[in-house]
Amino acid sequence: MPVSTSSSRVVYDALKGTGVRLISALPETWLVHLIRMAEDDPEMTLVRLAKEEEGVGISTGAHLAGVKSAMLMQNHGFLASINGIVSCAQLYRIPLLMVISHRGGFGERDPWQTEGGGVTEELLRALRIPYECLDDSSRVAGRVAHAQTLAYSSLKPVALLLTRELMWEDPS
């Protein structure tokens, strides 16, 4: 599976570097290495979800209890979480760090992923959730740290989109 192990490591280390100690996740192809890294790290609490919206509640509880967390999900998981994001994280001013694999853009071969890719950024903008794309591994650590800083200063959700350029190593 040509998901980049090295980029996954860079993203994982960046999350951990900002103090993240709890990760909630629902597996998807681009996230496999990240989830394994969380699973293998004795300092990380990994919560495997049935549906992504649960992660909003878990991160809210963790934040109020003093633990930094992140949600790992596909953009369709973000779509499935929107009520929780609005009526829990935004309503209660929770610094929610969402790391979202941005499937369905140029280069997408899976037909079933192609609708979500086109609406993800529009929805983030509509929800006024600040976001940036992670497309260059040399800039990941800085962007993750900046996202976390804004989440905590504004007490609001922020999103980082994992792009194909970062996460996928085409064998061709």
Partner 1 sequence: MTRADALRAIYPAIADRPVVTIMGAVAAELQAIGHRPNFFYLQHAMGLASSMGLGIALSRPELRVVVFDGDGSVLMNLGGLTTLARYRPRNLVHVVFDNESLLSVGGFPTATSTGSDLAGMAAAAGVPRTATVRTIDEFAREFAAADAARDLTTIVAKVDAVGPSGYVTGLALLENRFQFQRYLTDRR
* Interacting residues toward partner 1 by CB under 8 A: 22, 45, 47-51, 53-67, 69, 83-84, 87-88, 91-93
Which of helix, strand or coil describes residue 91? coil
The residue among 54 and 121 lying less far from partner 1, judged by its C-beta, is 54
Which of helix, strand or coil describes residue 171? coil
The residue among 57 and 117 lying less far from partner 1, judged by its C-beta, is 57
Give the DSSP letter string of 106-140.
TT---GGGHHHHHHHHHHHHHTT--EEEE--GGGH
The residue among 67 and 123 lying less far from partner 1, judged by its C-beta, is 67
Identity (one letter) of the amino acid at 119?
Answer: V
Cα dist from 165 to 29, 99, 124, whole Å: 15, 15, 20
- Report the nearest approach of partner 1 to the CB of residue 76 (Å): 15
The residue among 48 and 125 lying less far from partner 1, judged by its C-beta, is 48
Rounded CA separation 113/97 (Å): 23
The residue among 58 and 166 lying less far from partner 1, judged by its C-beta, is 58
- Report the nearest approach of partner 1 to the CB of residue 12 (Å): 19
Q: Which residues contact 1 (CB under 8 A, 6 or more apart)?
A: 29, 32
- Report the nearest approach of partner 1 to the CB of residue 115 (Å): 23
Beta strand 131-134 with 158-162: parallel, antiparallel or unpaired?
parallel
Rounded CA separation 21/27 (Å): 18
